């Protein structure tokens, strides 16, 4: 890069240099401001300083970057002056600017905007005279000092209860004047605020508020660049997988004023409902207000559309007459502006072919657009909008599939309140249904405490007056969020929807006392730690804990799944150990069982007694006696699974864990066991000692058990074949696949296969009929992958056990990795938790190699994956590329895997 590079891009009515496809360079906000200019939409003129300048800034600091961009910024300001017919820094006709950050991906509330920049003690008089409105000028000035003091001069609260020191001063003044709202303060009050704010800044920072507009501008530009690296921006990027290296652009733009009186306003709107996805233009606005007032939840905003306003009134229990008088919609208040806004919104949605989140300001009857972007939305809205836009012919099938992030489907599968429990519950308060879902938890009032409590495994509901970006981490661990102030577009609402987290906002009846750590609703006190429940779909708040029930696939979700199935190549099976799990997974679209862990059946009820008898037995005949008791129980289990998956493959893995897992390790339980089984405590202790292993995960487990004790394998094989034949006799189409765990050599597999085949022949001879079955192996030791060709000659299918394969390939114990993995992730040793998303470059190589080797000796050999990775979208994409036949995952992840498989097939 050299000094002649272009860093500044103009936008306005006269000239626009950027466009929507320049997001990497101009950030999302800057690129779309330019695009709106190109579409002929009214946007205040301005210019964008590119993300490349931010990168330079991060690497080299202020002075070199000033040299690079100074002339271009001067030229940009001159351009805006010419477009607006005002002069920056002028005492009589001052041009005021906003300075706004904007990265490639939208990071709401992450980096603060400064409005009304360019004001000082002279310019404020000029502004007042020019607008013939003294109150407006001083209101703008005090807002500017507030924002600049916070963002650039770094004025922070002195305690966490203080929240915002400027607001404290405003509240004191309001109290003194006996008024409720900011809008009730008059010009002289605002003048007083300006003086007080300046003194506060001087006292707390030791610096005077800068009077030179250019000094103000450069201070703001650097602050935006620096804010890219502030703590909350970093947290947001971490939570959302946004690279730290991108940088932010800076948008410098002429101000338009929503605080010029009753014909001015500011607002935000969505082209569709961000909570439900309904195709309904909706939004909120405030009359005589500026910028962040709507988002910050300072006053309860009004609804943009009449329909929205009526719905709001119903929820807030405001009578129609009262609504029309005190909270009229923009549609009623300024019908012409509303029509124009609707037109802009339609134009933008059709242009971007996605739900738009727009920001606008009305200055004395003229509508200005300040931002448009693809709106954040809940998982449910994501699905509905994609499917409806497909239906409306706005997007094609592949685009619809790509519009939904598989992980977000989680939200649609998550529990809702059990209607029965809900019927008897009485709401204690009502707010806005800001983000759907059901949540019960204990009240906490501070974000850092939400984190601390959640760490201890507690379910918490974060209750706040309103939330701010500092609360992000606390919000992300809370089960739900309740705020007393703020609308559907408040910080809490927007962030909660982005996280897919249940949120009720603007519950006016809730009075929060941060110092006392209580909330009061209609005379009732609730303290920190009390249980409450939130319904984010209705806005209701309940006392106590309400039971929840599972959701179902239907409507647009069902259609999205059907569409996924048309595009995907990978089959999606499920990991299921019980008929109930199998049926649920089947209803979520699983086409078979990829992993049944037979040992899970060993723990339940009476069975564990027989299992322990087998473990305590002195010899083979003793073991056989105990196994004979288990046989009918196992057979019954398998019958249930075959019935639940008629016509679909059911993969059954033979006993896998080390035997010590089945006997109690503590003295008290051992005594109970001794009494139950009529054996001496000494005998139990001796056996437990014998079973003790230093490294159980690499110990006596998997096929090693079956090789030491073939009678266990015999019993399991017999249970499978008898169950299969029994079910077939009932007309069920049985497709059994038997899987040998933890194989490392062909010989190991052969030893087990011989036992299984012998049992099969015996059962078939007894019954006089044959049940076709497949006999395959897990590939989960690195050695098995390395010699997959020799194993493939004897095994009829492979299933990658990627949990063990990861553990053994990386040499990370799955049970101990939590101790060091966070450090590894922080230091970039691995980019993601390798137990969650497959290590493609390492473990993935083994998978690819084994597939290739297996197919080289047995063309068409069936290969699948079972284990956590089967439900991770990035891993699913990798398995698709590796040419696997199926992935198998837990029932709740089946829909996620289906969509991820479709996206992989169309090449996202």
CA proximity to 354, closest of 384, 374, 326: 374
Q: Give the binding range for ligand ADP (CB under 6 A) out of 247-255, 335-343, 472-480, 481-489.
A: 247-255
Site string for ligand ADP, 77-116 (x = CB under 6 A): ---------------------x-x-------xx---x-x-
801 binds, among Mg ion, ligand ADP, none (CB under 5 to 8 A by kind): Mg ion
Q: Which of 466, 804, 862, 868 lies at the binding interface for Mg ion (CB under 5 A)? A: 804
752 forms part of the interface with ligand ADP (CB under 6 A): no
Site string for ligand ADP, 362-381 (x = CB under 6 A): --------xx----------
Residues 78 and 72: their CA atoms lie apart, in Å, by 10
Query: Is residue 32 within 8 Å of 39, Cβ to Cβ?
Result: no
DSSP code, position 252: E
840 forms part of the interface with ligand ADP (CB under 6 A): no
The interface with ligand ADP within residues 551-590 (CB under 6 A) comprises none
Residues 712 and 701: their CA atoms lie apart, in Å, by 12
> Quick one: tokens of 266?
């500011």
213 forms part of the interface with ligand ADP (CB under 6 A): no
- Angle, in degrees to the nearest 10, between helices 555-567 and 894-905: 50
253 binds, among ligand ADP, Mg ion, none (CB under 5 to 8 A by kind): ligand ADP
CA proximity to 283, closest of 359, 228, 220, 226: 359
Site string for ligand ADP, 842-861 (x = CB under 6 A): --------------------
Residues 214 and 74: their CA atoms lie apart, in Å, by 10
DSSP for 488-543? Answer: TTSHHHHHHHHHT-EEEE--TTEEEETTTTEEEETTEEEETT-EEEEETTTTEEEE
Residues 673 and 686: their CA atoms lie apart, in Å, by 14
Residues 24 and 26: their CA atoms lie apart, in Å, by 6
The interface with Mg ion within residues 356-375 (CB under 5 A) comprises 359, 371
780 forms part of the interface with Mg ion (CB under 5 A): yes
Question: Closest CB to ligand ADP among 468 and 781?
Answer: 468
Q: Is 322 exposed, middle or buried (0-12, 13-18, 19+ CB in 10 A)?
A: exposed
Q: Give the binding range for Mg ion (CB under 5 A) out of 38-46, 51-59, 117-125, 793-801.
A: 793-801
Q: Give the binding range for ligand ADP (CB under 6 A) out of 123-131, 218-226, 254-262, 519-527.
A: 254-262
Question: Closest CB to ligand ADP among 108 and 636?
Answer: 108
Least distance CB 578 / Mg ion (angstroms)? 19
Site string for ligand ADP, 292-331 (x = CB under 6 A): x---------------------------------------
167 forms part of the interface with ligand ADP (CB under 6 A): no
359 forms part of the interface with ligand ADP (CB under 6 A): yes
219 forms part of the interface with ligand ADP (CB under 6 A): no
Question: Closest CB to Mg ion among 293 and 780?
Answer: 780
Query: H or E stretch including 688?
Result: helix 681-691
> Quick one: tokens of 628?
């004979």
Q: Which of 18, 213, 589, 801 lies at the binding interface for Mg ion (CB under 5 A)? A: 801
Q: Which of 12, 30, 44, 871 lies at the binding interface for ligand ADP (CB under 6 A)? A: 44
Residues 460 and 453: their CA atoms lie apart, in Å, by 7
Helices (H), strands (E): how many in the chain? 38, 33
Query: Is residue 781 within 8 Å of 744, Cβ to Cβ?
Result: yes
> Quick one: tokens of 759?
């049992």
292 binds, among ligand ADP, Mg ion, none (CB under 5 to 8 A by kind): ligand ADP
Residues 382 and 98: their CA atoms lie apart, in Å, by 32
888 binds, among ligand ADP, Mg ion, none (CB under 5 to 8 A by kind): none
Q: Which residues are catalytic?
A: 491, 866
Query: Is residue 777 within 8 Å of 740, Cβ to Cβ?
Result: yes
Question: Closest CB to Mg ion among 369 and 582?
Answer: 369
Question: Closest CB to Mg ion among 112 and 134?
Answer: 112
* Angle at alpha carbon of residue 353, lines to 349 and 358, rounded to 5°: 35
Q: Is 462 exposed, middle or buried (0-12, 13-18, 19+ CB in 10 A)?
A: buried
- # residues near ligand ADP by CB under 6 A: 18
The interface with ligand ADP within residues 258-297 (CB under 6 A) comprises 266, 291-292
Chain residues that interact with ligand ADP, rule: CB under 6 A: 44, 98, 100, 108-109, 113, 115, 253-256, 266, 291-292, 359, 361, 370-371
Q: Where do contacts with Mg ion occur on this chain (CB under 5 A)?
A: 359, 371, 780, 801, 804
């Amino acid at each position: 890069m050299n000094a002649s590079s272009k860093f500044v891009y103009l936008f306005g009515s006269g000239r626009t240099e950027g466009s929507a496809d320049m997001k990497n360079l101009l950030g999302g906000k800057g690129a779309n401001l330019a695009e709106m200019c190109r579409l002929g939409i009214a946007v205040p003129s301005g210019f964008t300083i590119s993300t490349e300048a931010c990168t330079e800034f991060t690497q080299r600091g202020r002075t070199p970057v000033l040299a690079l961009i100074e002339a271009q910024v001067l030229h940009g300001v001159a351009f805006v002056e010419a477009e607006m017919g005002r002069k920056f820094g002028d005492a009589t006709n001052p041009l005021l600017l906003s300075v706004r950050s904007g990265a490639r991906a939208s990071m709401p509330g992450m980096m603060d905007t400064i409005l009304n920049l360019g004001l000082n003690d002279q310019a404020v008089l000029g502004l007042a005279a020019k607008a013939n409105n003294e109150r407006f000028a001083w209101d703008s000035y005090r807002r500017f000092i507030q924002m600049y003091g916070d963002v650039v001069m770094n004025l922070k609260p002195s305690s966490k209860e203080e929240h915002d020191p400027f607001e404290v001063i405003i509240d004191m003044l309001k109290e003194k004047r006996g008024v409720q709202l900011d809008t009730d303060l008059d010009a002289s009050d605002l003048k007083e605020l300006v003086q007080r704010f300046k003194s506060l800044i001087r006292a707390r920072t030791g610096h005077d508020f800068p009077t030179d507009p250019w000094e103000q501008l450069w201070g703001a530009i650097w602050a935006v660049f620096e804010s890219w690296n502030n703590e909350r921006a970093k947290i947001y990027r971490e939570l959302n997988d946004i690279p730290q290296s991108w940088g932010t652009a800076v948008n410098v733009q002429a101000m338009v004023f929503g605080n010029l009186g009753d014909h001015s306003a500011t607002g935000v709107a969505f082209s569709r409902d961000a909570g439900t996805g309904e195709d309904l233009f909706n939004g909120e606005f405030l009359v005589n207000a500026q910028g962040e007032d709507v988002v910050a939840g300072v006053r309860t905003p009004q609804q943009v559309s009449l329909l929205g306003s009526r719905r709001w009134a119903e929820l807030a229990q405001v009578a129609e007459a009262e609504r029309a008088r005190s909270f009229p919609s923009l549609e009623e208040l300024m019908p012409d502006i509303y029509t124009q806004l609707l037109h802009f919104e339609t134009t933008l949605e059709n242009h971007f072919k996605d739900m738009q989140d727009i920001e606008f300001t009305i200055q004395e009857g003229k509508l200005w657009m300040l931002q448009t972007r693809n709106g954040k939305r809940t998982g449910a809205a994501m699905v509905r909008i994609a499917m409806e836009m497909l239906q409306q012919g706005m997007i094609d099938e592949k685009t619809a599939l790509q519009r939904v992030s598989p992980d977000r489907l989680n939200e649609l599968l998550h529990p809702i309140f059990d209607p029965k429990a809900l019927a008897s519950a009485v709401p204690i308060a009502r707010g806005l249904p800001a983000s759907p879902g059901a949540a019960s938890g204990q009240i906490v009032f501070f974000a850092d405490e939400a984190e601390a409590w959640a760490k201890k495994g507690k379910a918490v509901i974060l209750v706040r007056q309103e939330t701010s970006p500092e609360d992000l981490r606390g919000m992300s661990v809370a089960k739900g969020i309740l705020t007393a102030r703020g609308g559907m577009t408040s910080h809490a609402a927007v962030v909660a929807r982005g996280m897919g987290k249940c949120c009720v906002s603007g519950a006016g009846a809730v009075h929060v006392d941060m110092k006392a750590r209580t909330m009061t609703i209609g005379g009732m006190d609730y303290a920190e730690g009390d249980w409450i429940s939130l319904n984010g779909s209705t806005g209701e708040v309940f006392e106590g804990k309400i039971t929840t029930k599972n959701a179902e696939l239907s409507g647009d979700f069902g259609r999205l799944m059907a569409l996924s199935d048309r595009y995907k190549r990978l089959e999606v099976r499920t990991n299921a150990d019980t008929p109930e799990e199998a049926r649920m997974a089947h209803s979520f679209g699983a086409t078979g069982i990829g992993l049944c862990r037979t040992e899970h059946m060993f723990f339940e009820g009476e069975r564990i007694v027989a299992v322990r008898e087998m473990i305590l037995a002195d010899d083979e005949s003793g073991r056989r006696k105990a196994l004979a008791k288990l046989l009918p129980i196992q057979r019954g289990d398998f019958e249930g699974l075959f019935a639940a998956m008629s016509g679909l493959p059911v993969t059954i893995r033979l006993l896998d864990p080390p035997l010590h897992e089945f006997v109690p390790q503590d003295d008290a339980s051992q005594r109970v066991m001794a009494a139950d089984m009529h054996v001496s405590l000494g005998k139990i202790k001796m056996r437990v000692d014998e079973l003790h292993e230093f490294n159980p995960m690499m110990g006596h487990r998997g096929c090693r058990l079956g090789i030491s004790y073939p009678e266990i394998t015999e019993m399991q094989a017999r249970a499978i074949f008898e169950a299969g034949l029994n079910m077939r006799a009932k007309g069920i189409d049985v497709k059994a696949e038997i899987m040998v765990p933890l194989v490392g050599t062909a010989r190991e597999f052969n030893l087990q296969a011989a036992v299984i085949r012998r049992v099969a022949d015996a059962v078939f001879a007894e019954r006089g009929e044959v049940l076709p079955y497949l006999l395959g192996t897990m590939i989960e030791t690195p050695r098995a992958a390395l010699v997959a060709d020799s194993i493939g000659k004897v095994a009829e299918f492979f299933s990658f056990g990627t949990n063990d394969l990861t553990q053994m390939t990386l040499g990370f114990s799955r049970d101990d990795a939590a101790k060091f993995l966070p450090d590894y992730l922080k230091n970039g040793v691995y980019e993601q938790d390798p137990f969650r998303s497959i290590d493609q470059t390492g473990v993935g190589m083994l998978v690819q190699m084994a597939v290739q080797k297996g197919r080289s000796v047995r063309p068409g050999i069936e290969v699948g994956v079972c284990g956590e990775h089967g439900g991770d979208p990035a891993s699913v994409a990798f398995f698709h590329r590796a040419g696997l036949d199926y992935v198998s995952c837990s029932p709740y992840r089946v829909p996620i895997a289906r969509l991820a498989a479709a996206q992989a097939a169309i090449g996202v």
